[in-house]
Structure 1
Amino acid sequence: MEPTREPGAAPADAGHTLTISYQAMDDGPDRIGGNVLGDLCQFLIFQARIDYLSSKHGFAGIGRHSRLGTPTPIRRQAMSDSVLEQLQQRLQHLEDIQSIQALKARYLRACDQKQPNAMRECFVEHGAVIEADGFPAFTDREEWVETFTRLAVANPSIQDMHHGHNPQISFTGADSAKGLWDLEFCQVNVKERTIVNLSGQYSDEYERINGCWQIRSMRFARGSFVMRQVDAGGIERVIALGKPPAAGFIENN
């Protein structure tokens, strides 16, 4: 990325052409993230150096002209089409990853805020698959939203907290992706005076439809589990450890 003169060329300010080359860090089209920001920084520095040389030596470039009144061309060695295409693809992947993470955040927030309509919009309209330990499998988003409404929205005693962590997003096609998320979950049932803490992992599949990412499938596998009950004096007692009690831990009355 250093400014170079052609072999045998006179000093840059003597009216000769200056050759400036740019070399991106080409580490393959499958690289997502990684050095893409470094590439962008290098390219911005590259442009800044052209600005500097144009100003200092009177070269034409980035809209500047020679102090002597005669433009002197700067010949820039552009990135190859393949490198440029890879950089564009990696930038698109970064934007898509951000969109998918925002999608998952909207879903988890809809769970906590008891917003069934917002939850519904997170899934594809037809054929969504939702599976979670302790629940039957659902093959349509409406079935899942109906169950959520009955167990949480219509139950003022339930207070939930869903925190997603450690996302790993990978792409399976131009408009499809999959993701792994760790979940930290807490539920307070003020009527039954119980507190549930559990962890687990989401395995998701995403699809871009009409320019928007949505969840095609979502499977949740429960990991750790502890359930405590708080007596009138504020003393907690563990009533389930490792797995939920046979009666479950959500009551809807």
Structure 2
Amino acid sequence: MDLAQRIDNLEQVEAIKKLKYGYWRACDAKDPVAFRASFVRTGADIDYGRLGAFQDADPMTEIFTKVALAKVDGEHVIYDMHHGMHPEITVTGEHTATGRWTLRFRQVNLLDRTETLTTGEYDDEYLLEDGEWKMSKCHFTATWSIQQPLAADAVVTGNFPAATPQSPENTVVDR
């Protein structure tokens, strides 16, 4: 591989990292539009274990929207934190790549007053679509998890921007 090819390969790897980091940022920011935009237009192979397996990103986006945007008394009730690390990205062709990532995930659930810490591995495939990398396959396998109750005096606050005109409306959950 000559120098120009090596530089192009490094640029493609960096673009894929930007895609995946943007995906996690969308998850934590409760942004279903950016979440959906991380995947190919049609036919994404998604398997998130207990959250379900799908052959397109739209059903997973619906679940994400329902969970991430859930509110009680006008306040969000689910707080997520995704920290992805240890990327192993291989450009396999002019328009294809694979990736493996480790995830540290933390969730505070105010509906059941729990905090969950999970770690696991993503196995991804990427496709260059209209000049941008998108996930065509995204499989997450949890390796371990711990859940504990929130302390009775725990106070959780959040600061999320209001839904944008392109975003689905916030979901209200009854207590």
- TM normalised by structure 2 equals 0.83
More strand by share: 2
Q: Which residue is 1:129 aligned to?
A: 45
Q: Distance in 2 between matches of 1:145 and 1:191?
A: 21
1:181 pairs, out of 101, 120, 137, with: 101
Whose Rg is larger? 1
Q: Counterpart amino acid of 1:97? A: V
Moved over 4 A (4+): none
* 1:97 CA drift (Å): 0.6
Please state if 1:159 is matched with 2:79. Answer: yes
Q: Would you say 1:103 and 2:23 are equivalent positions?
A: no
Structure 1 position 233, deviation (Å): 4.9
Within 5 Å, give how 1:19-30 maps onto structure 2.
Answer: 29=1
Structure 2 residue 124 is the aligned partner of structure 1 residue 197: no
Asked if 1 retains the 8 angstrom alpha-carbon contact of 2:23 and 2:38, the reply is yes
Correspondence 1:229 to 2:149: yes
1:142 counterpart residue number: 58
Per the TM alignment, residue 204 of structure 1 is displaced from its structure 2 partner at its CA by: 0.3
**Structure 2: segments with no counterpart, 5+ residues:** 155-172
Unaligned 5+ runs, structure 1: 1-28, 30-85, 235-251
Q: Provide the C-alpha distance between the structure 2 equivalents of 1:165 and 1:233, rounded to a whole number of angstroms.
A: 33
1:154 to partner: Cα distance: 2.5
Greater length-normalized contact order (CA 8 Å, ≥ 6 residues apart)? 2
CA RMSD, Structure 1 to Structure 2 (Å)? 1.3
Query: Aligned AA for 2:17?
Result: Q
3-state secondary structure, aligned to 1:173: coil
Determine which of 31, 35, 40 is the counterpart of 1:119.
Answer: 35
How far does the alpha carbon of each residue in 1:98-134 deviate from its partner, in whole angstroms, 9 at most, with x for none? Answer: 1000000110000000000011111000101110121
1:59-98 maps to which residues of 2 (within 5 A)? 86-98=2-14
Q: Deviations over 1:26-58 (max 9, x none)?
A: xxx2xxxxxxxxxxxxxxxxxxxxxxxxxxxxx
Instruction: Evaluate the alpha carbon distance shift between residue 190 and residue 87 of structure 1 in structure 2; reply closer, same or farther with a 3 A threshold.
Output: same
The corresponding residue for 1:78 is none
Relative to structure 1, the CA distance from residue 139 to residue 158 in structure 2 (aligned partners, 3 Å threshold; closer, same or farther) is: same
Alpha-carbon displacement from aligned partner over 1:50-84 (angstroms, at most 9, x marks no partner)? xxxxxxxxxxxxxxxxxxxxxxxxxxxxxxxxxxx
Equivalent residue, structure 2, for 1:220: 140
**Does the CA contact (< 8 Å) of 2:89 and 2:99 recur in 1?**
yes
* Seq. identity, %: 39
> Structure 1 residues 88, 147: CA separation in 2 closer, same or farther (over 3 Å shift)?
same
Distance 1:201 1:216 in 2: 16
- Alpha-carbon distance between aligned partners in 2 of 1:112 and 1:99, rounded to the nearest angstrom: 20
- Distance in 1 (CA, whole Å) between partners of 2:119 and 2:5 is 35
In the TM superposition, residue 230 of structure 1 has moved relative to its aligned partner by 2.3
